[in-house]
Amino acid sequence: MKTRTIFSIDKDTEIWGGSVSLLTKLPCGNELTVASSDIFCEGVLRKGEYVRLRELIISRRAVPSIPNKVDYTLRALLSVKKLGTREEEWRIYSEIPVTLVARVAAEATPVSLNIKGMTFSLEKDTFEPGEEVKLKYFTQNIRTMTVSLIHEANLQCACPQYRTICSHVKKQSRERILSVEEKNPGSGFVTIKIPGYAEPSYNYLWEPPEVTYWSLTFGAYSRWYLEVECVKASGEAIRFQIPINVVTEEKIEEKLFEETVEEPKPFSKPLDPRLITVSASRGAPKITFIVKNTSSTPLKGVTVRISAIKEELFEVKPYVYGIAELPPNEEISLDYEEQAESYQVTIEDSEGNVIVKRL
């Protein structure tokens, strides 16, 4: 999911960080972060406007939007420091509702079942709402046969607070849509129509990628099946189920989710990285970085993110500095306190230019 976030800063502000996240709510009301992307780290943003494009990676197992069950919100967040302290003063955020749409489809497959001398078959196991299910049967010594269309649907939730059973998930009884009874059946067909309002079949069970939430799962399912109950002349009852799929689309698209929000407009032509120069002046106890714009284009909403790279592997204590504009042939300088073997400097602007330099 592509997002375009605008941060309008009305005064110079010290921040702890900024991000954009896709959220939903668990049955207990607690928020669940399905996907998130950092935009800013700790640092200072000068007065101005900062436009940032980020792509949220959404698991294919994430539950799509389900009316009256699962809703999603896209939230942009900025954490502001309390002046002169190491505390958070407040959080500035904006959010909009979004819809995740999964195109549910399945390849139709014939079904054949033999049980205790009886044979049941379907030409296919996938149907659309309003379509008829035609079950062919062959039986012997059966007094009555009842075929019912059953639907089951509910949320699934497990978390450390409620362990494997969430007390806020209401147990939903299965719904018997329609039943057809045949007396003394021999061979023939039973026809049952899928209702036009039928919810499609699905089964989603999402788990967060972070190991700190290893015990959390969130999901939802919608199952359809034919339940067949036969009573033999001897009085013996035989009951079994034949799963079927209900789909609302004839063709599945490659991507799972379709965005209902407006697609972010593409940025202009990328800036040549060679036109942005970075130099450093080392000294105790800090190092000063100088970033210069040697291009002929003013850069809007510029942030310079500096991080120390220790042992060529570990990035520590990143710091960001933002200004509203960096004109041509102008430069900015900033101090960084962390001493390391090498440094990574990332320059980003509101036009989507991202330039990374190693010193």
pLDDT at 249 over 70: no
Q: What was the pLDDT predicted at 212?
A: 54
Residue range 263-279: mean pLDDT, rounded? 76
99: which 2 tokens?
């819809």
Given a contact cutoff of 8 angstroms between Cβ atoms, the answer to whether 307 and 320 are in contact is no
Q: What was the pLDDT predicted at 225?
A: 97
Average pLDDT, rounded, for the chain:
87
> Are domains 2-102 and 111-248 of this chain identical in fold?
yes
Query: For residue range 123-158, what is the model confidence (pLDDT) as tens digits?
Result: 999 999 999 999 999 998 999 999 999 999 999 998
Q: What was the pLDDT predicted at 131?
A: 95
pLDDT at 299 over 60: yes
End-to-end CA distance of the chain: 33
Q: pLDDT-derived band of residue 43, with 50, 70 and 90 as boundaries?
A: very high
* Cα 11 to Cα 45: distance, rounded to the nearest angstrom: 8
pLDDT at 161 over 90: no
Residue range 202-225: mean pLDDT, rounded? 83
**Between 250 and 99, whose confidence is greater?**
99
pLDDT at 103 over 70: no
Residue range 160-181: mean pLDDT, rounded? 87
pLDDT at 261 over 50: no
Residue range 103-111: mean pLDDT, rounded? 81
83: which 2 tokens?
């002046």
Task: Determine the Cα angle at 69 with ends 66 and 70, to 5°.
Answer: 60
**Between 265 and 157, whose confidence is greater?**
157
Q: What was the pLDDT predicted at 252?
A: 38
Percent of the chain at pLDDT above 90?
Answer: 62
Given a contact cutoff of 8 angstroms between Cβ atoms, the answer to whether 158 and 216 are in contact is yes
DSSP for 211-252 reads GGGTT-EEEEEEEEEEEEEEEETTS-EEEEEEEEEE-S-SS-
Are β-strands 43-45 and 314-326 bridged in parallel, bridged antiparallel, or unpaired? parallel
Report the CATH architecture of 111-248.
Answer: Sandwich (2.60)
Q: pLDDT-derived band of residue 101, with 50, 70 and 90 as boundaries?
A: confident
Candidates 29, 74, 26, 21; CA nearest to 219 is 26
**Between 159 and 266, whose confidence is greater?**
159
pLDDT at 105 over 70: no
pLDDT at 255 over 60: no
pLDDT at 267 over 60: no
CATH 2.60.40.640 fits 2-102, yes or no: yes
In this prediction the pTM is 0.80
Q: pLDDT-derived band of residue 256, with 50, 70 and 90 as boundaries?
A: very low
The helix/strand/coil state of 339 is: coil
Who's near 123: CB < 8 A, 6+ residues apart? Answer: 110, 134
* CATH value of 273-358 in 3.20.20.300, 1.10.3720.10, 2.60.40.10, 3.40.80.10: 2.60.40.10
Q: What was the pLDDT predicted at 313?
A: 66
Task: Determine the Cα angle at 272 with ends 268 and 274, to 5°.
Answer: 160
Residue range 291-303: mean pLDDT, rounded? 94
Q: What was the pLDDT predicted at 258?
A: 37
Q: What was the pLDDT predicted at 93?
A: 82
- Domain ranges in the chain are 2-102, 111-248, 273-358
H-only helix segments in the chain: none
Q: What was the pLDDT predicted at 142?
A: 93
pLDDT at 254 over 60: no
* Cα 120 to Cα 144: distance, rounded to the nearest angstrom: 15
Lowest mean pLDDT among 92-96, 123-127, 146-150, 307-311: 307-311
From its phi and psi, is residue 235 left (phi > 0), alpha (psi between -120 and 50) or beta? left
Indicate the DSSP class of residue 28: T
